[in-house]
Amino acid sequence: MPAGTTGKFMRKKSEERRQAMIDIAAEVFNEIGFEAASMAEISARVGGSKATLYNYFNSKEEIFVEVMMKQVGCQFEELFMALRNEDDLKTGLLRLATHYLSVVFRPEVIAVKRLASYYAGKSDLGPMLYERGPRRGWTRIAEFLKVKMDEGKLHGGDPWIAAMQFRGLMEAEWMEMRVLNVVTDITPQQQRESAERAVQAFIYLYQPR
């Protein structure tokens, strides 16, 4: 087998093994929870040594983040990457807001949010999840808003702050009640209406002047 082909084959096998470890770790976290889980338990299920597991992941927090990104991260990546700089401002924001609310209130996403908040003061889990997830996505939104500011379609300002304010408007009506389980079901119509109000308020706030 040629050297280049061998290298590709080995990388593929290594990635397959890494993904298998993530899947097994997910089973452990689901069964006994993040706090009770350990690298020793995960490595025992994987069938290798802890040293092998540490070759792929530096900590339990890191492998948990990978589990969460595999379970819910792709939903957000698709959401944020669908926004194109050439999109009409209102159309793009409304599509984003509608899709965002349909994703962010899903039970598995709310569960991750609750878990990250619970462990934020006890480990590096919260910051790690933030850097891998929300920060990346909202950086993309900030880039879109900067383009619209440069085009004169939005009032100039800090695009990151604008992105955070837009996020606040989208989440304002339902997020706290959903996280605290005051409400357990937000209908698609309620989500659409909430998205429309958020976009309307944001465009009013940042209208050119």
Q: Which CATH class is domain 68-205?
A: mainly alpha
Q: Name which of 10-19, 138-147, 193-202 the model is least confident about.
A: 10-19
Grade residue 148 by pLDDT with cuts at 50, 70 and 90.
very high
Q: Where is mean pLDDT largest: 32-41, 86-95, 130-139, 146-155?
A: 146-155
Q: State the DSSP string of 68-131.
A: HIIIIIHHHHHHHHT--TTS-HHHHHHHHHHHHHHHHTSHHHHHHHHHHHHHTTTSSHHHHHHH
User: How far apart (Å, rounded) are the C-alpha atoms in residues 26 and 71?
Assistant: 9
Specify the higher pLDDT residue, 6 or 45.
Answer: 45
pLDDT digit string (tens) for 30-69? 788 888 889 999 999 988 788 889 999 988 888 888 888 7
Closest CA to 186 of 110, 118, 117: 110
pTM as predicted: 0.78
Domain ranges of the chain: 1-57, 68-205
> Is the CB of residue 42 less than 8 Å from the CB of residue 21?
yes
The CATH architecture that domain 1-57 belongs to is Orthogonal Bundle (1.10)
Q: Which amino acid is at 191?
A: Q
